[in-house]
Structure formats: structure tokens, C-alpha cells
Structure 1
Amino acid sequence: MVSYSFFKNTFLFSILLLAACGNSAKSQKPEVNSQKKDNIVLIKENEPIKTGAENYEAYGSLLEGKKIGVVTNQTGIIPFTFRYTSTNEEGEDEPAYATDTISIVDFFLKGNENVAKIFAPEHGFRGTADAGELIKDGKDTKTGLPIISLYGNNKKPKPEQLEGIDIMVFDLQDVGARFYTYISSLHYVMEACAENNIPLIVLDRPNPNGGIVDGPILEKEHESFVGMHPIPVLHGMTIGEYARMINGEEWLKNNVRCQLTVIPCTNYKRDMDYDLPVKPSPNLPNSQSINLYPSLCFFEGTNVSVGRGTNKQFQIYGSPYLPRTDFSFMPMPNEGAKDPTYNGKTCYGENLTKVERINRLELKWLINAYNNTQDKSKFFNNFFTKLAGTKQLQLQIESGKTEQEIRKSWETGLDQFKQVREKYLIY
């Protein structure tokens, strides 16, 4: 018979087995850095990266006696150590320990925190819905807690949905791209909290695309849920830093400001490699897809598939209208793609699964596909400008400009953004 007991200590969950949660510094040893920002020592020698969620001692007291709303999904997890009693070969009971991961919601409940509601972004609380799929309100089958969808027609929590909540906790894993909608959900949550006088705690997590800042700056006339702010495609910030920018630049409606607390990661530098412990969404299955996503997502605004409906999403691209090559694939319905583009049709293109990690926004695949498609007039669709944040990129490609010429046109905007960004960096 094995009995289990969950326990907290000063760090609530000791990180005995880092591999269990996927944190990795790729054998890079953090150097000692005693510089402080906001009274936080950022780096300790030989210590593993710890997410904001793991830094419970920095925010636990803020939750005491409060009714909590939690914005999270399957990425909001933390490692924990549990103790159990096992029987040894001599038949004697003895304590044993093991390490696993747990949802931030389950973590709060096990710690007797008063969680009132869960708010779920695109893809839902369990992270299995298709991109753009309508997510309905409901109840979590495990905890019985009400789930409020923050996607579809209800992107911003309504006052009645916030009734009874004393404090909001936001814990989502971003990937550093403007059109990844978790930062849009962050905007609306901050705005709703500001308007309803609810403090917000953002539990920070590393940006798997590090400090890459690249791409065209979004123009105001092209704002949408896949691009709400005047930033480049790759912003090079953690989601906590981005929350500080939203507040500081007064991007919220009527220039309201959120009562914001960012709980930082510890022992983290943005140039460290960081492998996510779980898929941030159904069609980003691994580090390769996350790294290629900002570059390949432009294909979502064209007649080219990015591999939805395969097991190599955002690591391949192709269409029936590109020249036949040695590489082809056929999309079929799967998790996160119930009816993928070119369902059941053969697509020809390129396999990028073995491409080495890129450190900028790459346009060569997009330009190559455009130059080789059968009918250029049918290549782009209206969604492309929303993704690009400007009409200029499509016009530049159609006019035959080289990647170097296009990148040159971004330089002034990127330099200006980097100056603004500097004010909000933590790491």
C-alpha cells in the first residue's frame, strides 16, 4: 500500500529533477551577476532557472485570504516533489520521494488557496482546441471550477465575470511573437482588472525565442487580435516584461493603468536556451516549431500550408500549387486541426525539421514560395496584412524586392522600438 502526502517548503516545490519540467540551460552556466532591478537579484551561480510560478515565496503572501481568478492553460505548470510511503525488501515502511509537474490551479488548491474561477485563452484550459476555434464557458472536470473563455466574442473579462474576485493571477507561456494571441489576452485581462480595481499578478516565464527583436512594426490601422500594439513580429521580451510595457506605454483603453505585480524568473538570462516543458499550443509541438513559428506563420495569410494536420506543424510548408519536389505531405485531421488546409491533398514544398536554430525573422521561405507558385494572384489572402501588421511587406514581395532590401526598411522602426523596450526589461 502506498500513501501520498503533498507538502510545501520555503520554495513550495523543490526542483530536484529539472528534466521533469523541461527547463534547460543547455549546459550554459549562469555567471554571477549582482546587479539588481526592482530589488531582485537576477542570477545566482549554478542555480537552475525557476519560473515566476515557482517563486512562490515572492507572491504567496499576496494571495492570503483572497478569492483568486487564474488566467492559465496547460502551460501553467510547476514542478513539485511529493512524499510517499513504500515498503522495502524487508517488508518495512519507509519514506520515498518523487518529482512531477502540477497545474498552477491544482497547486493553489492543494495549498488551500481560494480559487474562484479559471479564465482560459485561445485553445482552452487544457490547450487542445484548434487555432481560432470557439471555446465555450464550462466547468473543469477535475476541479469543478467554472471556466470562462477569453476567446471568440468574449476576449475581455466582463465585470459580472469578475464579481467576487479579489486578485487575478496570469500564468501563460508566451513564445515571443506578436501574433501569438496570449499577449493579446494579457492586454484585455490587464484592461479589465484596471477598470474593476482588481490587482493582477503576472507569473513570468522565459521567452523560448530569447532576445530576438526583428520584423516590421505593426501600424495602427492594422490592429487586430493577432497584433494589438506597435511592436515588431519578434519582440524579444518575456510576458512579464511585456505586461510592464503595456502599462508603461499606456496602451490600455482610456490610458487606464493596471495594478500590476510581475513575479520574475530567477537565474535566467534571455540568451539562455530554454526548452518548454509542454506544448504551448497544439500546433507548436517542439522547440524547432517554436523557433520557426514567427517566420512560417506568414504562410497562414497565403495559400500555403504550414503542416497543420501533420506531426511536423510549423516545421514544413507546401501546397498543391508549388512545383513537385522530392518532399511532399498530405494534411489529415488531428489534434488542433480538425479540418486542416488541403485536407487529404498532396502538398509539395520544403522540410525544415533539420534546419539549425535561426536568430532572426527569415523571409526566404516566403519569398521562394511566392516566386514559385502557379498563380501569384492567388497567393496572398486578406489575413496576411493582419499578420504582417503592414501592407508594405506584401507589396515589397510582389514588386520583387530582395530579403535584404525588405529588412533594410525595418531598421528605423526596430531601433526606435528597442529604445522603448529597454525601459521595461527585467533580465
Structure 2
Amino acid sequence: MKKILFIGVALLIAACSPQTETTETPAALKTGAEVLIEQDFAILAGKNVGIITNHTATVGDRHIADIMHESDKVNVVALFGPEHGIRGDAPAGDKIEDGTDAATGLPAYSLYGQINKPTPEMLEGIDVLIFDIQDIGPRFYTYISTMGKGMEAAAENGLTFVVLDRPNPLGGNLVEGQIREEGFESFVGYFPIPVTHGLTVGELAMMIKGEAMLPGLENLDLQVVEMENWDRSKLWPEYNLAWNPPSPNIPDFETALFYPGTCFFEGLSATEGRGTYEPFLQVGAPWADGEAIAAELNAKNLPGVTFEAVTFVPEIIPSMSTRPKHLGAEVKGVKHIVTDMYAVRPVEIGMHVVHAFYHNAPEAEKATFFNEARFGRLAGTNEIHEMFKAGATAEEVIASWSDEISVYDTMKKKYHLY
């Protein structure tokens, strides 16, 4: 997929509050993949390698799989792809078949379909399983679930599991949302962590093993190739990196920033904006009064964001959305406008937006407003939608997770690499 330079970098950085503005240009960030290359693939010498990867695993303008396949220092024998596929061109939710990677000629196994964990047959002859995928920070973004499945497969088959670390676009300090409860395990909630976990994928892998979040990992040989010059207090735009959309509906950093909150609309009768070119930035419903909802939300003066009323018509967009909610209907709602990226707390904002739509919904719509099973999977609990239905405010919902978040935040610091 062609890289898209994030045009709004300067605007977003300019929107930072004076207390958080960066006055020095950070040293050039090096991803784990770049460090591995600089080390001449030393940890892979004499090993047969499989790579769990997708289109985001680039060094410069080249894919890590292509670089490693061409190197005489590495013997890559198979590729494994998550949701959206190895080259990132499959729409959200589409099942992907096994095949051959056109660029390398290597076997390309799908981990998003009937099988989501590498099988012993797929791993035959492999010594090291590498994970190199750009995550965006929330629990329900499925790439980290694919990583967890890969860790399980590596442990079960006696393989080394290597994570090539990459930045968390939301930084390394943002922690929000309820911790997923037992009984709510799914591919959008594979680990008992908050909605925004505040870790890189390498740190998360270490925590998954160290806290026994998955069974059978006690003896897993887990290695993390660390980044250089990443500062967990800084967000993605600070590094002036090109934004390579990690999935078709996350086209830019601004969308990724609000996604942990607006993704909850996937569990509502209202739409999260799929079928438009601004999904997860704009949300709405055919019955909504966008002007009234925007006014209610703006009156709250939520940090880092304002809202404007919008009207849109969801349509089929190849490679982005083939089955959008309210297809062809006029939808009214609100669009999120970032005013200070460092002040944004996306899950808290999401709770305010969900409450505003529910509060403003006609009585006839409230009965079906929550898809309780889907919303519960995303939230990791039934408590949130039950509180809203019982009349709770967004502030009360947000307060409900404060104690467990404090415990988690202390625990996760044991696994900080940066």
C-alpha cells in the first residue's frame, strides 16, 4: 500500500498546549526492524525464520519481509498475515485464504479466518517466529491478538518468538477503560488489559508472558529487539514519520487518536462512520440531531476536542467498507476535531459521545441502541452499557474503572523498556 505522509503533523503539534509543546527535535527514531538490520540479523544466524507481518512492517520504503528474503544472512521460509492480510489490502472482517506471497514467492498463511494461530504444519522447519506489525494502541485492534496467538504457537512448538518493536502512536502513558473481565475473551479482547494499554507491542508481549495472561508461556523464549530513541511521553506526529495506514479505516494519526473511543459505535445501532472517508472521526445515526448533540458535547469542554455537526451518507468503498451500517441513508451526527492531541483521552471522550447519542435517541430507538453482545465484547464487560441503560452519566461510567486502572498502571511499569 502506498505510504501516505501525515499532512496534519504540523497542525497537530501546533495544537499542543504550551505545557506539552516540544522545543527540541527528537533524535531519529529507529524501529526494532531497523536495529535488527543494523545488527546484520545476528540473532537469526543459522535459523529458519517465519514472519508474522503486514504492510506496516517497513524500513524506509521497503517491507521487512522483502529485505530479509533477499538477505543471505537470513533464511525466511514462510510468512503469516493478520486481519487485512500480509500486504494490507483486505477490508475489515474479510476472511483471507492461504496462498503465495507475490513479492517473495514464499508461502503466505492467513491468521485471520478459520485459523488464527499458526499450526504445527505451518511451522514445520521454522526455528524462530518473528512478529513485526505496527499496532495503534487499543485492546480491540486485532494485531495484538494475532501476536498473542503467535506466542502460544511458538511456546507449543518450542520456537523462539522475536518481537521487532515499533512505537505506540498514542505514546506509552495513556491508560483508559475497564480491564477485560473473565468470560469476555474474544479476538477483540484477548488479554485482561484496559482499552488503551499504554505499551509498545514488545512491552506488551513481555507483560503477557510475565503476568501469565495466556497459559503455557512459562518457558517461551521471548526476545524483543528494542527501538532506539523512542520517548513514551511523545505521540506519533512528534517524530515526523510517514503514516502507513495500519488498516484501511485508520487512514491517519488523527483517526487513530480517537479510534479507542469511537470504535464503541461498532456495538451500537448508530454508525462509526464506515462507508465514508472519515470513519471513526465522524459518527451518527439517521434519527440523530447532530446540532443538538454537538452543542451538548461542546458544552462539556472536553479536553483536546471540539465537535461539529455533520451529515453523511454511508456508501460501499472498495478496500474500506463493503457492508457499512445505514448504507445509502442520510446520517446525521458529529465529527471530532482535535484541538490538543496531548489532552485527548479517547475512551473518556467516547463514553461522553455514546451517552450523548443514547440520551438524545428517540424512545423507540433506545431499545435497540446497544448491540449488547458486540458492545460487551468491545468494552470487555457488560457493566458499561448496563450503567448507561440505568441512567448513569458518562462521568459515572468513567469513574467506575479508576481503581483497577491505577493498579494496572503500576503493574505495567515493570515492563517498560523506554
> What TM-score bracket applies, with the shorter chain setting the length?
0.7 to 0.9
Structure 1 Cα separation of the partners of residues 169 and 142 of structure 2: 16
% identical equivalent positions: 39
Deviations 1:153-188 (A, max 9, x none): 211111111001111111011111010111111111
Give the corresponding residue for 1:278. 244
**2:64 pairs with 1:73:** no
Change (3 A) 1:256 1:59: farther
Larger Rg: 1
TM-score normalised by the chain length of structure 2 = 0.85
Give the corresponding residue for 1:269. 231
Structure 2 Cα separation of the partners of residues 263 and 21 of structure 1: 26
**What letter is aligned with 1:154?**
I
Deviation, 1:359, is: 3.1
Change (3 A) 1:354 1:246: closer
**What letter is aligned with 2:398?**
R
Give the corresponding residue for 1:296. 262
The aligned runs of 1:132-151 (5 Å cut-off) are: 132-151=93-112
**What letter is aligned with 1:337?**
S
Please, which of 185, 198, 216 is the counterpart of residue 178 of structure 2?
Answer: 216
User: Structure 1 residue runs of 4+, over 3 Å off?
Assistant: 19-22, 24-30, 254-257, 353-356
Give the corresponding residue for 2:34. 54
Change (3 A) 1:295 1:355: farther
Give the corresponding residue for 1:4. none
Number of aligned residue pairs: 373
Please, which of 375, 380, 385 is the counterpart of residue 389 of structure 1?
Answer: 380
TM-score normalised by the chain length of structure 1 = 0.83
Higher strand share: 1
SS of 2:415's equivalent in the other structure is coil
Give the corresponding residue for 2:271. 305
Contact 1:303 1:319 in 2 (8 A): yes
Please, which of 346, 366, 384 is the counterpart of residue 354 of structure 2?
Answer: 366
Change (3 A) 1:354 1:234: closer
Change (3 A) 1:70 1:54: same
Give the corresponding residue for 1:407. 398
Deviation, 1:336, is: 2.2
Structure 2 Cα separation of the partners of residues 300 and 283 of structure 1: 13
Change (3 A) 1:74 1:370: same
Give the corresponding residue for 1:111. 71
Q: Give the gaps of 5 or more residues in structure 2.
A: 14-20, 292-308
Contact 2:208 2:214 in 1 (8 A): yes
Contact 1:330 1:343 in 2 (8 A): yes
Give the corresponding residue for 1:179. 140
**What letter is aligned with 2:268?**
T
Deviates more, 1:231-240 or 1:253-262: 253-262
Give the corresponding residue for 2:152. 191
Deviations 1:51-89 (A, max 9, x none): 11111234711112221101100110011xxxxxxxxxx
SS of 2:206's equivalent in the other structure is helix
Structure 1 Cα separation of the partners of residues 35 and 245 of structure 2: 22
Higher helix share: 2
Structure 1 Cα separation of the partners of residues 6 and 160 of structure 2: 29
Structure 1 Cα separation of the partners of residues 27 and 282 of structure 2: 37
Contact 1:250 1:257 in 2 (8 A): no
**2:134 pairs with 1:168:** no
**2:311 pairs with 1:328:** yes
SS of 1:55's equivalent in the other structure is helix
Deviates more, 1:46-55 or 1:349-358: 349-358
Contact 2:284 2:334 in 1 (8 A): yes
Contact 2:156 2:216 in 1 (8 A): no
SS of 1:415's equivalent in the other structure is helix
Structure 1 Cα separation of the partners of residues 321 and 246 of structure 2: 15
Please, which of 316, 321, 328 is the counterpart of residue 344 of structure 1?
Answer: 328
Structure 2 Cα separation of the partners of residues 219 and 270 of structure 1: 27
Structure 1 Cα separation of the partners of residues 56 and 290 of structure 2: 38
Structural RMSD (CA) = 2.1
Q: Give the gaps of 5 or more residues in structure 1.
A: 1-18, 31-44, 80-100
Structure 2 Cα separation of the partners of residues 198 and 103 of structure 1: 23
Contact 1:306 1:316 in 2 (8 A): yes
Give the corresponding residue for 2:18. none
